[in-house]
Chains A and B, each alone.
Chain A
Amino acid sequence: MGKSVLLIEDEPNIIEAISFILSRDGWSVATHSNGHDAVGVVMAAQPDIVILDVMLPGKTGYDILRELREEKGMVDLPVLMLTAKGQVKDREMAERAGASRFMTKPFSNAEVLEAVRELVNA
């Protein structure tokens, strides 16, 4: 089994597409669709990398990431943030929250794949 990715995203067809391209590349993909219990899900799954959408029902990706970084052993977990907002202030918010990388929608499959590979192998 390859390395694991936890994809936290609420749009079903994006989940399906990203899951497909990562699975095809040999990753073990788990998914989750809401912000309420996202931190607990990450803690339980202990993935090699998290792909985290910003706009989620229940809690924003920024808040999830801030809480996650305060958990033991989660400081260095690679987190790729996905957002529809590409302004400088959004990028800064992602960095302050502790994002390893920030990607603006719409992105290509190749960009996601490359970012995931780089972050896990960094």
Chain B
Amino acid sequence: MGRDTLTGSRIRERRAMAGMRQAELAKAVGISASYLNLIEHNRRRIGGKLLVDIAAELGVEASLLSEGAEAAVLASLGEAAADGAQAGAEIDRADEFAGRFPGWAALVAQQHRRIENLERTAVTLTDRLTHDPHLATSMHEMLTMVTAIRSTAGILAEPGEIEPEWQNRFHRNLNEDSQRLAESSQQLVAYLDGAGDAAASLTLPTEEVDAMLVAHGFRFDAQVRAQPEDIRSFASQQPELTSEASQDLAASVIRQLSEDARDLPEDKMAALLARHGTAPVDIANEARLPLTVVLRRLAAVSDALLPMACGLVMCDAAGTLMQRKAIDGFPLPRFSAACPKWPLFQALARPMQPLRQVVTVTGRDARSFECYAVAEPIGPLRVDESPLYHSYMLVIPLQAASEGREVGSTCRVCPSVGCEGRREPSLLA
């Protein structure tokens, strides 16, 4: 049954919710109870003034009666049914369900959204618990303290004499270790308190640099003419960069991005995009610049010049992600290793060869993206010495549904079954 044919059902449900008898409502709007009965059983079409009058009596918008539940509720119901396919929910009757039981439908939709949020939190926390180097180090330190205390306390508690000198030493050790344990546990608690807010607890220089880049949208056009010392000074003033290490790291990235802006200023990029669209190889050929420059610059200016923001990710030859510009639908892991099926890694096997691939990210949204990747050497060329490579991947959201190669974010949160690239079991399996 279509949405517009269920207006009567919605009137009946709303009337029941309002505690009105059929005759009462019919009289209020000037029709007979038997006619209202036919309307409520969807056997008479209703619209115009009568619908507006009935809606006014029921205290709802007429559109709620004629169009049913909001599209968002129906969309959520559809997603909930797809996620729990084994339950056999009648997807083709979602509209009828939402129309007849708007409160229950809203509840199902709300619960579905809550489950989504909780899953996202679980993914973040699992990623942290499994791969966070700070947490692993803290736990190791605490267990080491506990071991020392247990062994020392065991010696002191055992029957038999211990020489006073040893006894004093062990008492001193106990005191020291218990103090260190107290400090470690306080630090750990403070760290875990921030666990729900992934962005609030940055632990590594690379994470601080990522946060700074995101804060500036990867754009440093104002630093085009800045000298290296000015850029280092600029880095030291960024609130996200709390250590010398992160400021040094950030300065080199800012220098690179500002050089990109010098080579491809915004007006030039706008002209190139008008001629070539988001075809980075064509842009690189016309601009006579390395493709990596174009990939970085496209990601940087996409927020301003394109209808959709583009993502960017860079890794070194060991596969470690070093620059991340995340976009909706293409999650980038914070701690754990990324999906080995990303074109980013394939590019490392074929240096200097641009790769283009359409990928579909596994999971509930299953969105598709056009990816361009290339690995280019870094540093000066040296005779008889293999260069090191950095690989870049530009991620362009596709508006139309597309069937691409299935990729994930990281194994831990990827639901893909039978993937030949899987490194560890999935939390969502």
With both chains docked as a complex, state the minimum distance between the C-beta of B176 and any C-beta of chain A, in angstroms: 7
Please tell me if B208 contacts chain A, counting CB pairs below 8 Å. Answer: no
Task: Give B142-188 interface residues, CB cut-off 8 Å to A.
Answer: 143-144, 146-152, 154-155, 158, 166, 169-170, 173, 176-177
Tell me which of A15-23, A32-40, A91-99 binds B.
A15-23
Please tell me if A121 contacts chain B, counting CB pairs below 8 Å. Answer: no
Kindly list chain B residues whose C-beta atoms are within 8 Å of the C-beta of A108.
150-151, 154
Tell whether, in the assembled complex, residue B144 and residue A11 are in contact, meaning their CB atoms are under 8 Å apart: yes
Q: Known interface pairs A13-B173, A20-B166, A105-B146. Does A84 touch B140 (Cβ–Cβ under 8 Å)?
A: yes
Kindly list chain A residues whose C-beta atoms are within 8 Å of the C-beta of B143.
84, 105-106
Interface magnitude class on chain B: 20 to 34
Tell whether, in the assembled complex, residue B155 and residue A11 are in contact, meaning their CB atoms are under 8 Å apart: no
Bound Cα distance A11, B140 (Å): 12
With both chains docked as a complex, state the minimum distance between the C-beta of A103 and any C-beta of chain B, in angstroms: 10
Tell me how many residue pairs across A and B have CB atoms closer than 8 Å. Answer: 58
Taking a contact as CB atoms closer than 8 A, the residue among B146, B149, B151 that contacts A18 in the complex is: B151
With both chains docked as a complex, state the minimum distance between the C-beta of B103 and any C-beta of chain A, in angstroms: 46
Q: Taking CB as reference atom, which chain A residue is nearest B136?
A: A85
Q: Is the interface of B mostly helix, strand, loop or mixed?
A: helix
Taking a contact as CB atoms closer than 8 A, the residue among A13, A55, A85, A109 that contacts B154 in the complex is: A109
Tell whether, in the assembled complex, residue A55 and residue B151 are in contact, meaning their CB atoms are under 8 Å apart: no
Bound Cα distance A14, B144 (Å): 8
Return 28 A-B CB contacts under 8 Å, by A number: A13-B173, A13-B176, A13-B177, A14-B147, A14-B148, A14-B151, A16-B169, A17-B152, A17-B154, A17-B170, A20-B155, A20-B170, A21-B151, A55-B140, A84-B147, A85-B140, A105-B144, A105-B146, A105-B147, A106-B146, A106-B147, A106-B150, A107-B147, A107-B151, A108-B154, A109-B155, A109-B158, A110-B154
Bound Cα distance A107, B143 (Å): 10
Kindly list chain A residues whose C-beta atoms are within 8 Å of the C-beta of B146.
105-106
Please tell me if B200 contacts chain A, counting CB pairs below 8 Å. Answer: no
Q: Taking CB as reference atom, which chain A residue is nearest B151?
A: A17
Kindly list chain B residues whose C-beta atoms are within 8 Å of the C-beta of A110.
154
With both chains docked as a complex, state the minimum distance between the C-beta of A7 and any C-beta of chain B, in angstroms: 12
Tell whether, in the assembled complex, residue A17 and residue B139 are in contact, meaning their CB atoms are under 8 Å apart: no
Kindly list chain A residues whose C-beta atoms are within 8 Å of the C-beta of B144.
11, 14, 84, 105
Q: Taking CB as reference atom, which chain A residue is nearest B176?
A: A13
Q: Known interface pairs A107-B147, A108-B150. Does A17 touch B173 (Cβ–Cβ under 8 Å)?
A: yes
Q: Which A residues fall within an 8 A CB radius of B? A: 11, 13-14, 16-18, 20-21, 55, 84-85, 105-110, 112
Q: Taking CB as reference atom, which chain B residue is nearest A82?
A: B147
Bound Cα distance A109, B177 (Å): 17
Tell whether, in the assembled complex, residue A21 and residue B147 are in contact, meaning their CB atoms are under 8 Å apart: no
Pick the 8 closest A-B CB pairs, nearest first: A17-B151, A84-B143, A106-B147, A13-B148, A105-B147, A109-B154, A13-B173, A106-B146
Kindly list chain B residues whose C-beta atoms are within 8 Å of the C-beta of A107.
147, 150-151
Q: Taking CB as reference atom, which chain A residue is nearest B140?
A: A84
Known: A107-B150, A108-B154. 16 other contacts (CB 8 A): A11-B144, A11-B147, A11-B148, A14-B151, A17-B152, A17-B154, A20-B155, A20-B166, A20-B170, A21-B155, A105-B143, A105-B146, A106-B149, A106-B150, A107-B151, A112-B151
Bound Cα distance A110, B143 (Å): 18
Bound Cα distance A105, B148 (Å): 9
Task: Give B127-143 interface residues, CB cut-off 8 Å to A.
Answer: 139-140, 143
Q: Taking CB as reference atom, which chain B residue is nearest A107?
A: B147
Bound Cα distance A38, B155 (Å): 28
Kindly list chain B residues whose C-beta atoms are within 8 Å of the C-beta of A112.
151
Kindly list chain A residues whose C-beta atoms are within 8 Å of the C-beta of B147.
11, 14, 84, 105-107
Kindly list chain A residues whose C-beta atoms are within 8 Å of the C-beta of B149.
106
With both chains docked as a complex, state the minimum distance between the C-beta of B297 and any C-beta of chain A, in angstroms: 42
With both chains docked as a complex, state the minimum distance between the C-beta of A108 and any C-beta of chain B, in angstroms: 6
Kindly list chain B residues whose C-beta atoms are within 8 Å of the C-beta of A14.
144, 147-148, 151
Q: Taking CB as reference atom, which chain B residue is nearest A89?
A: B424
**Per-residue CB proximity of B102-139 to A under 8 Å, as 1/0?**
00000000000000000000000000000000000001
With both chains docked as a complex, state the minimum distance between the C-beta of A85 and any C-beta of chain B, in angstroms: 8
Bound Cα distance A1, B244 (Å): 53
With both chains docked as a complex, state the minimum distance between the C-beta of B153 and any C-beta of chain A, in angstroms: 9
